[in-house]
Structure formats: C-alpha cells, structure tokens
A = this chain, B = another copy of it.
Amino acid sequence: MQRQQNLTKNQKIVLDIIEKSTEPLKAYSILSNVKKKGINAPPQVYRALDKLVDMGKIHKIESKNAFVACQNSNCKVSKAAAFSICESCEEVTEIDNSKISKYLSSFADKIGMKYKKYNLEFFGLCKKCK
C-alpha cells in the first residue's frame, strides 16, 4: 500500500507542474507539459491526478475541469475545498475553509447526511475586477 507521503514518479511530476502553475491546469495541458518527462498518454496523467486528489494534495475545479494545488494544509484531512472564481479574469483562489467547513459540516449533519467532503465554487468578480 502506498503511503501518503511517498509520491510515485508520475505523481511527483504531475504535482510539480500543478504547484508551479499560477492558474488551474487541465489534464491535457498537463500532459503536453510532461511529455518531455516521459509521460506519454492520458491515463498516466489521470491516474496521477486521481491519487493526488485522494490525498488532498490537489483539488479539481469541477466547473472548469482543471486542477490546482491545495493551499490549505488541513485539506489533507477533509479533502473539502472552497474556491472563488472570477468570471472576468478567470482567477481561481482557494478560500481558507476552516470556518466554512465547520458551518457546512454542521449543515450536512442537520439534513441527515453522513458528510465526507464538499466542493464549493463561488462565481463573481474578484477584488481587482469589480
């Protein structure tokens, strides 16, 4: 069984490029960027992405089919994440989610759900664009 801390070769390559990016990266964009490192085909990228998401190292922005590195160390535990997405400049920012997490998990309890994680995407205009 793979340990959380020891990433495999492909996982390291994929995580590295996501961490270095200033914006969410799409799977095929990652693929084209890692061809020189010997990753040739989609499944290699998607497998690494899946595992990294499972570990909480990255998050998927569902509305964009794109991936960002986790900014909050606590996501390692909850895997829950919240983002603000600017509809003008496309900037995506991960929101420090400890308060939201508390609120939302209590909400999930209230509706009778055994809560595991959530994905929250805010759309609007960021500070700069509004």
With the chains together, A123 CA to B120 CA distance in Å? 11
List the number of copies, as a whole number: 2
Interface size classification for chain A: 20 to 34
> Which residue of B is nearest A87, CB measured?
B116
A72 close to chain B: CB less than 8 A: no
Interfacial chain B residues near A119, Cβ < 8 Å: 62-63, 119-121, 123
Q: Are B130 and A122 in contact (CB under 8 A)?
A: no
Q: Are B62 and A84 in contact (CB under 8 A)?
A: no
With the chains together, A94 CA to B113 CA distance in Å? 13
With the chains together, A122 CA to B101 CA distance in Å? 11
Q: Which 8 A-B pairs rank lowest in CB-CB distance, beginning with the nearest?
A: A62-B62, A114-B130, A114-B125, A116-B124, A112-B127, A115-B124, A120-B120, A118-B122
